[in-house]
Amino acid sequence: MKQKIFRSLADLRFAISILLIIALFSVIGTVIEQDQSIETYKINYPLTNRVFGFLSWDIILKFGFDHVYRTWWFISLILLFGISLLTCTFLQQFPSLKIARRCQFFRTTQQFCRLKIFTQSDYLNFTQLLFKIKKNKYSIFQQKNIIYCYKGLVGRIAPIIVHLSMILVLIGSIIGSLSGFKAQEIIPKTETFHIQNILNNGSLTLIPKTSARINDFWITYTKQTTVAQFYSDLSILDIDGNEIKHQTIFVNSPAKYNSIDYYQTDWNLIGLRMRDNNLTTLQYPLINIANTQTKVWLTWIPNNQKLNEGITLLIDNLQGYSSIYNKSGLFLGNLELNETLNLNNPITLIDILSSTGVQIKTDPGIPLIYSGFIFLMLSSLVSYITYSQIWIVKDKETIFIGGNTTRATYEFEIEFFKLIK
């Protein structure tokens, strides 16, 4: 019974079936947005108008389609597929490699009939034939008048490396889904933040206690005044508030510390800091009225106590100026940093307050996944090495010679006919 179970697990058809099921659920996890709020699923997958006629938000939440890759059944499928690969490796691949290393002598001339390529000749020089075979980098084994040769044995290791690489990828995926997390924080410039806004995390995740500070944030622009890059000057702090790492991050260049990545993701403007004639510092909040094309912020600055008279300041960049409009919408000009605007109570623009979006992410399984892909690429190269075998039996003056190969049959035939030429 145990042998039948292990043989069934090692069956190629069983492994392919499990792999297709994993691929199907991976497609579902790609199509359906992952780790979103319940309201998002209620809006996109309503009960009254089901997607594909059956898919609604209650089914998504019931079966865990909102976090497919962290569900118990998806992890179980991955484990089952990994067990299938392991059993196939130990029950089939290692014995196959062991057999390939053995000296498989042909004792009778009738055995040559099973080969696709074989011939017999009374005119071949036995010594010269062995010299040619040795020159072609074959390993030669001889028992009196019986010869067995092979080369490219390393090519037989390729399937084992493939299984090893896939197992590493699967283990890395499981570790990442159970122990990784992703968080998103919006932090004003010069502020310190802790990891609090967790977007998703695994059941075994331990959120680190480290904090970080945004020392500065700025944007570079192209000649066409479009955004070229976002930059955040970041300091990672220990539990006592001491700086342990200092780095400027930007898009596609995160900061890394203790297996945690800090990515630059977004930005926002939160206010304008002004100073009046009495040297009193005032702060006016900015409201985002962005559409899908551009980001625009505005604020209202009154010039009387009733707050019914004043100007609107509009800003759409971090280049150090804002546009001024009256309450009728008439453009009055631009106000730059440290420039004074003459109203009933003149005010000076001191600073544009900004905030930056930082995504904090850790995935402990990434090293294993990368190692798995490296081994997978290595196995692709190794699989191109052809495993070839040649058998020779000398019966009196007649020489029987035949060969076999795992791939590149045409090249092997050319090599074989050059040997007997």
Closest to 318 (Cα-Cα) out of 220, 231, 250: 220
State whether 257 and 369 are in the same domain: yes
Q: Is residue 313 part of a domain?
A: yes
Tell me what the mean pLDDT of segment 21-42 comes to. Answer: 87
- Greater model confidence, 171 or 221: 171
Looking at per-residue pLDDT, the higher value among 278 and 174 belongs to 174
Do 85 and 160 touch, CB atoms closer than 8 A? Answer: no
Write down the pLDDT at residue 293.
63
Question: pLDDT class for 111, splitting at 50, 70, 90?
Answer: confident
In a domain, residue 380? The reply is: no
Q: Are residues 219 and 274 in the same domain?
A: no
318 with 368, same domain: the answer is no
How many C-beta neighbours within 10 Å does residue 244 have? Answer: 13
Residue 17 is predicted with a pLDDT of 92
List b or e across 136-157, with b for residues whose CB sees 16 or more CB atoms inside 10 angstroms: eebeeeeeeeebbbbbbeebbb
Q: How many helices (H) and strands (E) does the chain have?
A: 10, 21
pLDDT tier for residue 92 given thresholds of 50, 70 and 90 = confident
Query: pLDDT tens digit string along 279-319?
Result: 888 888 998 886 656 788 889 888 777 777 788 888 888 88
DSSP secondary structure code for residue 113 in this structure: G
Give kind and range of the element (H or E) at residue 376: helix 366-382
List alpha helices for 10-157, DSSP H: 12-31, 38-44, 57-63, 72-88, 94-101, 126-135
Q: How confident is the model over 224-281, as pLDDT tens digits?
A: 777 888 899 999 998 888 899 999 999 889 999 888 999 998 888 888 888 887 788 8
Of 14-23, 89-98, 367-376, least confident by mean pLDDT is 89-98
pLDDT for the residue 288: 86
Same structural domain, 190 and 261: yes
Q: Is residue 16 part of a domain?
A: yes
Interatomic CA distance for residues 382 and 189, integer angstroms = 53
Domain span at 189: 163-266+357-374
| Same structural domain, 171 and 260 | yes
Domain shared by 44 and 118, yes or no: no
Whether 173 shows a pLDDT value over 80: the answer reads yes
Residue 91's pLDDT is what? 86
Q: Report residue 396 as tokens.
A: 């009196």
CA distance 172 to 365: 4
> So what's the pLDDT on residue 169?
92
Q: Pick the residue with more confidence: 21 or 320?
A: 21
CB burial readout 21-53, b (16+ within 10 A) else e: ebeebeeebeebeeebeeeebeeebeeeeeeee
Residues 416 and 344 placed together within one structural domain of the fold: no
Which of the four pLDDT bands, split at 50, 70 and 90, describes residue 374?
very high
Q: Which two tokens stand for residue 338?
A: 């440290």
Q: Give the SS3 label for residue 246.
A: strand
